């Protein structure tokens, strides 16, 4: 192993000198072996077009033509690429020029990540034989460590001199972590980094784990010292990794067909029934049983092993297709082979905590059965954006749930006036919403982004029930593709045939009908985005206050003997509507006539101040936020193209600091949440939106 270390360190020393000494770097560039230059020119001439590869190609040709290369000359070439100088680059042929012309124009320079000249020219010095030699040496080091430390239940991640972002670096590293962890980024690792003059080794928390105290890296001179350090760290890594949670996505049948069944049974289950008990298989025998040749690159094997080996306490996100989530739960049992089931005999028991369809609109899930997801943060943020009351559930999920914890999520008595999660609306407004619901049965909470419309809807439901009973609340989100079949009833495939499938509103009405002494609440997020006449169909009339239970209809897909359908008296409809949605022309008259509309406004009041005070924000800082946002909102209201419906709401600023300073916390919110909104508002006047953002970030 010492020989492999010396190979790595030889390359590391050479690259470090190039990285740290620009004069030496240019001296070596201008004296590159002409045969290497010619080979690299051939490589980059045939590469898929990227601005940096065109830059490299031009640098190489400059060297070939014996023109002295300087930093200034490289900047000139960059500028020609940024300007898309097709005449200058026509010497490389039509294909490359077309790639340059069609490359999308972006706000940032295409070289924003290539400011260091070393990063641009790194591949000129570390290529072909050098890469193969160093990579083989790293593999050899890893293999011996895995053997000496008996790490058969571990896997690894290697990063050579290309670096994790392919920008070039003068060190290599190896991370070793348990097989049942999704990624090295989400695990505590046995870690070593090799420099030209030393080796670092110890325990390192993955990039996504915010635990600096776990870092035990020390410097060593010999591989023997490294082995001893890693050996003594092994038990601690196993211990702290057991406390971590993996996040898995699970597809309950094609297009989520088994979701309702699995949710009711509190399980997830997969096919491959002919395999029998999965505990009887090794990777090799599983590959043989499945007739798989390449066992290291088999999606079937990977899915099956993931399902079998996932840990109790890991989080499951049930998905429907690539862009929709159906619900979230926690694994509560080891793998079970249930031979009594007719099909889907491989089972894990699940404590389902959320049952709600959410559409992310973009592809975030893999097209397979059971696999890790690195999108947990996106999933959590999306669910909280549609229902802030999920916050305690996500807190428990991320802290790890035991039986005692789960009891805390059960039904409790409730009063909106003693709820520590205060609504920022006045008591008179709360009473007004409740009064409107009792009189009209149907209300729409409308307002600009960030006023907590969905959050208020859930809290109002709790207040009317006097319980935190989510079993009596159903939530959906309307969109342009949402249909009568999704909402009420439709014909759906079932095995080799088709059958009538009830929609979410139909089933919820039946649930309320069978429990007439309790109040039920159906919350429709983004109600204005759906085609109401299309979605409600013949039920549009039945939701009216004076038609409840008095009027009944036979549904479109009902059989002759089916009882007529009605909307029960004890069911309340609460819609939410974003008044800053530019896609809205006019709100459907059918919606206007059947709902009372209640406007929620930004409220940076005493309740807001008390909340931020409880989160340890300084009074001066809170005062500054209120002043800046109030000023911005006045400017928005006075803009003839915007108005009150486009203001910035208070809920943007209700999150915790999460170990950030007050300034960093505020800057993150402005840059990543407020700025995109302002860019959309002033889409035809980017300077104005930038000025508004600058004003917010200026002390």
Domains and their CATH numbers in the chain:
32-125 (no CATH), 131-241 (no CATH), 247-350+376-381+392-397 (3.10.590), 427-599 (3.40.50.300), 606-697 (no CATH)
Most confident of 295-309, 315-329, 422-436: 315-329
CA atoms within 13 A on the CB side of 615: 22
Average pLDDT over residues 637-654: 89
- pLDDT at position 495: 61
Place of tokens 């159903």: 474
- pLDDT at position 400: 63
- Residue 630, pLDDT above cutoff 60: yes
Rg of the chain over CA atoms, in angstroms?
30
Place of tokens 């973009």: 362
Average pLDDT over residues 250-260: 93
- Residue 329, pLDDT above cutoff 50: yes
CA distance 617 to 202: 37
First to last CA, the chain: 56
- pLDDT at position 312: 80
**In percent, how much of the chain has pLDDT > 70?**
96
- pLDDT at position 297: 62
Check: CB of residue 546 under 8 Å from CB of residue 495.
Answer: no
Using one digit for the tens of pLDDT, what is the confidence trace for 495-519?
677 778 888 899 899 888 888 888 9
Within 94-221, residue ranges assigned H as helices are 94-102, 117-125, 128-148
Q: Using alpha carbons only, give the angle 447, 453, 454 rounded to the nearest 5 degrees.
A: 150
Using one digit for the tens of pLDDT, what is the confidence trace for 160-216?
999 887 889 999 999 999 887 767 887 899 999 999 999 999 999 988 777 788 899
- pLDDT at position 599: 93
Q: Which two tokens stand for residue 444?
A: 């729409």
**In percent, how much of the chain has pLDDT > 90?**
46
CA distance 79 to 103: 15
Check: CB of residue 281 under 8 Å from CB of residue 322.
Answer: no
3-state secondary structure of 230: helix
- pLDDT at position 406: 38
How would residue 409 be classed by pLDDT, with cut points 50, 70 and 90?
A: very low
Element (H, E) at 569: none
CA distance 457 to 522: 10
Q: What are phi and psi of 127, to 5 degrees?
A: -145, 170
Please tell me the total number of residues recorded for the chain in this structure: 699
Where in 457-496 does DSSP place strands (E)? 473-477, 489-494
37 Cβ partners below 8 Å, 6+ apart?
60, 63, 64
Q: Which two tokens stand for residue 78?
A: 């960059």
- Residue 685, pLDDT above cutoff 90: no
Q: Which two tokens stand for residue 696?
A: 């917010």
Average pLDDT over residues 70-75: 95
Encode 624-677 in three state secondary structure: HHHHHHHHHHHHHHHCCCCCHHHCCCHHHHCCCCCCCCHHHHHHHHHHHHHHHH
Using one digit for the tens of pLDDT, what is the confidence trace for 581-620?
755 545 567 677 888 999 999 988 888 888 888 888 899 9
CA distance 65 to 41: 12
How would residue 242 be classed by pLDDT, with cut points 50, 70 and 90?
A: confident
Place of tokens 């899930």: 365
- pLDDT at position 346: 93
Q: What is the dihedral of CA 358, 362, 367, 372, to 10 degrees?
A: -70
- Residue 403, pLDDT above cutoff 50: no
Check: CB of residue 411 under 8 Å from CB of residue 468.
Answer: yes
């Amino acid at each position: 192993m010492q020989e492999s270390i010396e190979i790595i360190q030889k390359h590391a020393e050479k690259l470090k000198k190039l990285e740290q000494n620009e004069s030496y770097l240019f001296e070596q560039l201008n004296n590159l072996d002409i045969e290497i230059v010619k080979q690299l020119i051939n490589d980059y001439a045939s590469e898929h077009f990227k601005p940096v590869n065109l830059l490299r190609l031009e640098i190489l040709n400059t060297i070939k033509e014996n023109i002295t290369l300087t930093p200034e000359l490289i900047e000139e070439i960059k500028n020609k690429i940024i300007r898309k100088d097709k005449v200058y680059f026509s010497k490389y042929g039509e294909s490359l020029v077309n790639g340059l012309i069609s490359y999308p124009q972006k706000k940032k320079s295409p070289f924003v990540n290539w400011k260091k000249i070393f990063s641009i020219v790194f591949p000129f010095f570390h290529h072909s034989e050098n890469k193969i030699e160093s990579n083989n040496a790293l593999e050899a080091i890893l293999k011996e460590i895995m053997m000496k430390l008996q790490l058969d239940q571990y896997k690894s991640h290697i990063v050579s001199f290309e670096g994790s972002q392919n920008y070039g670096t003068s060190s290599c590293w190896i991370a070793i972590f348990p097989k049942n962890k999704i990624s090295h980024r989400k695990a505590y690792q046995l870690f070593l980094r090799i420099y030209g003059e030393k080796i670092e080794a110890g325990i390192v928390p993955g990039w996504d784990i915010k635990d600096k105290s776990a870092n035990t890296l020390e410097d060593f001179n010999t591989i023997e010292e490294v082995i001893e350090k890693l050996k003594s760290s092994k038990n601690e890594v196993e211990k702290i990794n057991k406390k971590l949670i993996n996040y898995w996505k699970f597809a309950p049948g094609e297009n989520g067909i088994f979701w309702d069944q699995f949710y009711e049974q509190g399980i997830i289950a997969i096919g491959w029934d002919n395999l029998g008990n999965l505990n009887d298989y090794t990777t090799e025998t599983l590959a043989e049983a499945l007739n798989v040749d390449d066992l290291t690159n088999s999606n079937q094997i990977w899915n099956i092993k993931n399902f079998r080996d996932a840990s109790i306490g890991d989080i499951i996100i049930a998905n429907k297709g690539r862009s929709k989530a159906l619900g979230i739960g926690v694994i509560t049992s080891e793998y079970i082979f249930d031979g009594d089931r007719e099909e889907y005999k491989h089972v894990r028991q699940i404590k389902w905590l959320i049952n709600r369809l959410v559409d992310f609109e973009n592809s975030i899930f893999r097209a397979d059965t059971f696999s890790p997801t690195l999108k947990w943060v996106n999933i959590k943020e999306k669910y909280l954006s549609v229902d802030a009351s999920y916050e305690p559930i996500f807190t428990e999920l991320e802290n790890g749930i035991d039986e005692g914890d789960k009891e805390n999520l059960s039904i409790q008595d409730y009063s909106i006036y003693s709820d520590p999660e205060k609504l920022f609306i006045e008591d008179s407004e709360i009473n007004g919403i409740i009064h409107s619901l009792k009189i009209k049965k149907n209300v729409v909470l409308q307002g600009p982004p960030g006023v907590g419309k969905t959050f208020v809807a859930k809290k109002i439901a709790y207040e009317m029930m006097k319980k935190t009973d989510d079993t009596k609340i159903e939530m959906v989100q309307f969109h342009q593709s949402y249909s009568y079949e999704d909402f009420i009833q439709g014909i759906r495939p079932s095995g080799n045939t088709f059958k009538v499938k009830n929609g979410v509103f139909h089933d919820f009405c039946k649930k309320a009908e069978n429990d007439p002494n309790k109040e039920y609440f159906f919350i429709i997020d983004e109600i204005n985005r759906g085609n109401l006449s299309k979605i409600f169909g013949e039920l549009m009339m039945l939701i009216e206050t004076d038609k409840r239970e008095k009027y009944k209809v036979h549904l479109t897909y009902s059989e002759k003997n089916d009882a007529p359908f009605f909307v029960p008296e004890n069911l309340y409809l609460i819609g939410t509507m974003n008044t800053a949605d530019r896609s809205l022309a006019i709100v459907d008259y059918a919606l206007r006539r059947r709902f009372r509309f209640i406007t929620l406004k930004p409220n940076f009041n005493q309740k807001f101040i008390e909340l931020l005070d409880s989160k340890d924000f300084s009074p001066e800082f809170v005062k500054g936020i209120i002043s800046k946002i109030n000023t911005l909102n006045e400017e928005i209201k006075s803009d003839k193209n915007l108005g009150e419906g486009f203001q910035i709401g208070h809920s943007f600023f209700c999150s915790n600091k999460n170990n950030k300073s007050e300034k960093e916390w505020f800057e993150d919110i402005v840059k990543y949440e407020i700025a995109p909104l302002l860019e959309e508002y002033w889409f035809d006047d980017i300077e104005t939106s930038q000025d508004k953002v600058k004003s917010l970030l200026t002390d």
